Amino acid sequence: MTIAGHYAGWVTHTVWRKKSTVLALVIVSVILVVCLQYNVAGSQERDENDLSKVGGDVQQDKRTLLGGNAMGYSAGNQPPNTMGFPPSPQQDKSALGDDSPYREEPGQSLNDRNMDGSMFNDGPSRAPYVPKKRLIHLDLKGAPPKISYLKKILKLSKDLGATGVLLEWEDMFPWSGILKNVAATNAYTREEVVELLDSAKQNNLDVIPLIQTFGHVELALKLKEFQHLREVPESAQALCPSLNASIDFIQTMIDQVMELHPDTNYLHIGCDEVFQMGECSRCKTQPRDSLFLGHIAKVAGIVRSRHPKVTPIIWDDMLRHLPPSSLEQYRIGELVEPMVWVYAEDVYRFVPLLIWEKYAALFPTVWAASAFKGAFGETLYIPNVKRHLDNNLRWLEVMANEGPKFKNGFQGIAVTGWQRYDHFSVLCELLPAAIPSLAVTLVATSHGYMNASLRTKLNTHLNCGVFAPSSYFNLNSDPFLWDTYSRCTFPGHSFFKLTSRLNTAQKEADELITMIRKQKGWMTKFNVRHNFSTPLRVEELMQDEPRVYHTITSLARSAKDSLSDVFDMDTISEWVEQNIYPTILELEEIQRDAQALKARTVWPRRPLPTLKDLSRLGVQSSDDDESQMPPV
């Protein structure tokens, strides 16, 4: 201890004598640390905000982020090779060395690292592919957003990089004359249509109307006055292409739509998923290929003859299996432009190389269609942004690969947002719940990639303000972006936030209902049917039910408030009935069952009476078996 104390005293005395030197060293060290921190922060800020610099000056992260940290990937989610940074507007495209849309990047830099510090090593990446036209698809059938809300979405979409809108009016169009009853009773007026189109024009967005002209004509075929146009009498899915009345009906639809869209250069005539074809007595005698292609030729002919400046677009799925000889026979390549739609991540699985080669030999140009909502489940109320981003980025890779095969390349991409899977389906994700997904997919398709450098743009246009996330979103842990954007104030933000609350409340309610009905043995359907349980156990099972019930019912009221600026009450009521009301009914049924079970104070001896309905399944009580035995 004496030696240690002596040594400590000596060190203290020495430091005190040279205190000026030590203090100077400390100050210099602090200054060096501050300078290094400032340099790193400035470098990161430049990486995020200066999107125009490419090449040797600034090497940024050029990889797609489908989940995880800003420069890392989840297993099995390797990025496509097309996600680089776009050349600046001033860059001479001839400097890329050839006519290809690709270029090779210089060597890797510090920002081309995984989070563990290791270098990316998947070979040189190509320049990003940015489609010329980038459409957002608005599916309006059966649930019309208010024009005031749609105008906000058009402005937002333009800011995020959209160049046009694919408007699927369906029964929301103000049909007139013989088509009057095709319009829903809450359809838009002609004045509202003009107001929306004027807003698109003010935002420099091209508008392409979409009407169905073969399959998915349920909006009209469900009605008695158009029942005679059905291919199958008991189904309203597809019209009969062999009837002259069908062609007259389609021509009337086209004329009415084009009257209100005089400036459009395109008309999408649908023609996807024609599930019923060649089944009526008139059509049975003709090959299905001829029925389909002949009808397409007639409809496209109507468009081109009556509106010479308008090019028809069709969905491509019905063309994929058709032989080139049939397509050439009907000159389909001269009549329409196909829009190839795939909403899953693996585009080539649904449209393999052979189909692309067939299309390139027949069509001078082609469109792509991805999705930002309405693709992964008919009853979902929130889109999985991770999957939709992946789908869009894969499409950019496919477009970069396949575009050069076409004489005029790709016209563009439509980022679809389905509201219903068909006319009879319930609502899937509503538009306000999908705004973050729309923003992410639009920014990705407008830049040709998605990474942390685009964070500021997303935060700005989603109006995050002081609540902007300080780090790039992690789609593995936050696939719906609830954690990232719930505090932002984009149009419809309150409903987006409500879906997160609904998800939590429904999980809790489902767990409670499962526990009461299936996992515990005192309030099962058997207990209820026989009114046989113990009140003490029922009380235990029902402890959390009032709180869960209150949470669910309060969500119904909140849904009305959060959607009142977006939809009419008919649409709000439908959504609540589909997504919240069933859970309320289940909980109320449990409440009634609990009251009945607790009211009983005397119980019978076992065995309990056999359920009589079991006899139709061959299950009978012992008394029933004895009564049916033959006499001895």
pLDDT one-digit tens code per residue, 484-523: 999 999 999 999 999 999 999 999 999 999 999 999 999 9
Query: For position 16, what pLDDT does the model report?
Result: 54
Q: Are 518 and 422 in contact (CB under 8 A)?
A: no
The reply to whether 577 belongs to the active site is no
| Separation in Å, CA 365 to CA 270, 333, 337, 409, 445 | 17, 9, 7, 5, 19
Mean pLDDT of 294-301: 97
The answer to whether residues 175 and 308 belong to one domain is yes
3-state SS record for 444-455: HHHHCCCCHHHH
pLDDT, one tens digit per residue, over 541-569 is 999 999 999 999 999 999 999 999 999 99
9: pLDDT confidence band, cut at 50, 70 and 90?
low
Count how many Cα atoms sit within 13 Å of the Cα of residue 469 in the half-sphere of its side chain.
18
- C-alpha distance from residue 357 to each of 329, 345, 406, 446, 510 (Å): 18, 21, 9, 26, 49
**Phi, then psi, of 84 in degrees rounded to 5:** -110, -165
The mean predicted confidence, pLDDT, of the chain is 85
Which CATH number goes with the domain that contains 402?
A: 3.20.20.80
Task: Answer with the one of 450, 471, 490 that is the final residue of a domain.
Answer: 490
DSSP state of 113: B
- Would residue 101 count as lying in a domain? no
Which of 446, 469, 490 is a domain's end point? Answer: 490
pTM: 0.79
In this prediction, residue 628 has a pLDDT band, given cuts at 50, 70 and 90, of low
Q: Cα–Cα distance between 216 and 422 in angstroms, integer?
A: 7
512 and 447 inside one domain: no
Pick the range with the lowest mean pLDDT from 52-66, 413-427, 438-452, 457-471.
52-66
**Based on the domain organization, do 375 and 471 belong to the same domain?**
yes
- Which listed residue (195, 273, 279, 545) is catalytic? 273
- Three-point CA angle 506, 507, 510, nearest 5°: 80
Could you tell me if residue 156 is inside a domain? yes
Is residue 429 assigned to a domain? Answer: yes
Q: What is the pLDDT of residue 469?
A: 86
Distance between first and last Cα of the chain: 110
Q: How many whole angstroms separate alpha carbon 619 and alpha carbon 615? A: 5
- Residues 88-146 have pLDDT tens digits of 333 333 322 333 222 233 333 323 322 232 322 333 357 899 999 999 999 999 999 99
What DSSP letter does each residue of 270-291 carry, written as one string?
------S-S-STTTTTS-HHHH
For residue 260 the two structure tokens come to 């209100």
Helix, strand, or coil (residue 381): coil
Q: What is the pLDDT of residue 84?
A: 31
Instruction: Please report which confidence band the pLDDT of residue 33 belongs to, taking 50, 70 and 90 as the band edges.
Output: low
pLDDT digits (tens, 9 = 90+) for 574-606: 999 999 999 999 999 999 999 999 999 999 999
Q: Give residue 409's pLDDT.
A: 98
Are 482 and 511 within one domain? Answer: no
Contacts of 473 (CB under 8 A, 6+ apart): 455, 481, 484
Q: What value, to the nearest 5°, has the Cα angle with vertex 188 and ends 187 and 193?
A: 150
Whether residue 257 is found in the same domain as residue 222: yes
Between the CA atoms of 370, 335, 217 and 224, what dihedral angle is there, to the nearest 10 degrees?
170
Q: Identify whether the C-beta of residue 386 lies closer than 8 Å to the C-beta of residue 67.
A: yes
Same domain for 309 and 340: yes
Question: Are 472 and 519 within one domain?
Answer: no
Domain end, chosen from 467, 490, 513, is at 490
Alpha-carbon distance of 130 to 297, in angstroms, equals 32
Residue 485 within any structural domain of the chain: yes
Q: Give pLDDT tens digits for 278-297.
A: 999 999 999 999 999 999 99
176 shares its domain with 253: yes
Query: 207: Cβ–Cβ under 8 A, 6 or more apart, which residues?
Result: 164, 165, 167, 197, 200, 201, 261, 263, 264
User: How confident is residue 19, by pLDDT bands cut at 50, 70 and 90?
Assistant: low
Q: Is the domain of 436 the same as that of 541?
A: no
User: What is the average pLDDT across 58-67?
Assistant: 27
Angle (deg, nearest 10), helices 493-514 and 545-563: 160
Q: Does the pLDDT at position 217 exceed 90? A: yes
Tell me if 96 is assigned to some domain: no
CA distances to 320, 613, 624, 625 from 618, in Å: 51, 10, 11, 11
Structural domain tally of the chain? 2
* 564 occurs within a structural domain: yes
In this prediction, what percent of the chain has a pLDDT beyond 90? 77
CA separation, residue 425 to residues 379, 461, 578 (Å): 9, 32, 11
| Residue 469 domain-assigned (yes or no) | yes
Residue type, 267: L
Question: Are 163 and 303 in a shared domain?
Answer: yes
Report yes or no: 90 and 84 within 8 Å, Cβ to Cβ.
no
pLDDT-based confidence at residue 627 (cuts at 50, 70, 90): low
Secondary element (H or E) of residue 210? strand 206-210
Q: Per the structure block, which two tokens stand in for 265?
A: 């250069």
pLDDT score for 620:
81
Is the pLDDT at 231 greater than 50, yes or no? yes
In the block, tokens 């009605």 appear at 223
148-207 pLDDT, tens digit each: 999 999 999 999 999 999 999 999 999 999 999 999 999 999 999 999 999 999 999 999
Same domain membership, residue 580 and residue 452? no
Query: Per-residue pLDDT for 401 more than 80?
Result: yes
Length, in residues, of the chain = 632
Together in a domain, 394 and 529:
no
CB atoms near residue 450 (< 10 Å): 27
Q: Which residues pair with 119 in a beta bridge?
A: 113
Q: What's the pLDDT at 544? A: 98
State which residues form the domain around 587: 496-605
Secondary-structure breakdown of the chain: helix, strand, coil percentages, each rounded to the nearest 5: 50, 10, 40
In a domain, 50, yes or no: no
Lowest model confidence (mean pLDDT) among 88-92, 250-254, 527-531: 88-92
